[in-house]
Structure 1
Amino acid sequence: MTELEKDCLFCKIIRGEIPSYTVFENDDVKAFLDISQVTKGHTLIIPKKHLVNFFDYSQEDAARFLQYIPVVAQAIKESDPTIKGLNVEVNNGEIAGQVVMHSHIHLIPRRSENDPISTPHVNNADQYSEADYQAVANAIKNNL
């Protein structure tokens, strides 16, 4: 693919201008170790087309690029018998913690409950009535 940005960090990795520890690559995607290694084996999957985040994806883009998530996830799991699970994370937009503005998916192996990872989730169910839930669901449905 030639739809890459000149100054994008991940586009530079795709072009080979910046080295990476590649674990999988084909015409559509590149998967490589995240330099931070939140846990051993932490891997990023990026499309070889510059898309900022999921808001930029067409259905064709999703079909073309996201199909490799289970392929790489399974390879990560099989690479180490101590891996018991995997966090699949996407930070979509700056407000959601996206740092590199090129779509990427984090595959973070989990070995124990004591891994140095935090996945905070807040339960706000007591703040929603059935009408509130239905209004939110309808607003989303109306945009599909």
Structure 2
Amino acid sequence: MAAGADRGCLFCAIARGEAAASTVYEGDRVVAFMDLQPVTPGHVLVVPRAHAAGLEDLPEALGAELWQVAHRIGRGLRRSGLRCEGVNLFLADGEAAFQEIPHVHLHVFPRYAGDPFRIDADWQVRDRGTLDATAGAVRAGLTELANT
């Protein structure tokens, strides 16, 4: 078994070629394939070959490579002939964020007027004091990360 692989993980099995997938891209450290439950036709998942359950487990350089591959796939979707008036890149980290398979994966999917994808949120403008306090909390988290 490859280093960092998880025998019970579907995405690891796909990365090893042990489970069926409609592959779009294969690199040494990243693989991309069609989502079995696409939001729109052309919905691709970009995953690291090495198992990483969430962002905490994913080395930053490998994360950057995921986004680089996703960027390329997004550009390819616009040239694919599929209906594509826009592109979303979506990463869910953790169950509360709707991550269903505990292996980091970046969704890349075409968007068009009237498609079925929705994000419902409270998009209210916040006051500067609240935003400044929240920014301070994020800076503190970054400082803690830098000290580990």
TM above 0.5, yes or no, is: yes
Residue of structure 2 equivalent to 1:135:
133
- Residue type matched to 2:105 in 1? H
Residue of structure 1 equivalent to 2:124:
124
Q: Flag structure 2 segments of 5+ consecutive residues without an equivalent.
A: 143-148
Corresponding residue SS for 2:121? coil
The alpha-carbon distance between structure 1 residues 81 and 17, as it changes in their structure 2 partners (threshold 3 A), is: closer
Residue of structure 2 equivalent to 1:104:
105
Per the TM alignment, residue 81 of structure 1 is displaced from its structure 2 partner at its CA by 5.7
- Displaced runs of 4 or more, over 4 A: none
- Residue type matched to 1:99 in 2? E
Q: Flag structure 1 segments of 5+ consecutive residues without an equivalent.
A: none
Residue 70 of structure 2 corresponds to residue 69 of structure 1: yes
Residue of structure 2 equivalent to 1:82:
83
Please tell me the root mean square deviation across aligned C-alpha atoms, in Å.
1.5
Corresponding residue SS for 2:37? coil
Indicate conservation of the 8 Å contact 2:29/2:62, yes or no.
no
**Alpha-carbon distance between aligned partners in 1 of 2:105 and 2:40, rounded to the nearest angstrom:** 17
Residue of structure 1 equivalent to 2:12:
11
Residue of structure 1 equivalent to 2:114:
114
Compute the TM-score of the two structures, normalised by the length of structure 1: 0.89
Indicate conservation of the 8 Å contact 2:83/2:110, yes or no.
no
**Overall identity of the aligned pairs, in %:** 31
Corresponding residue SS for 1:12? helix
The alpha-carbon distance between structure 1 residues 83 and 64, as it changes in their structure 2 partners (threshold 3 A), is: closer
Compute the TM-score of the two structures, normalised by the length of structure 2: 0.87
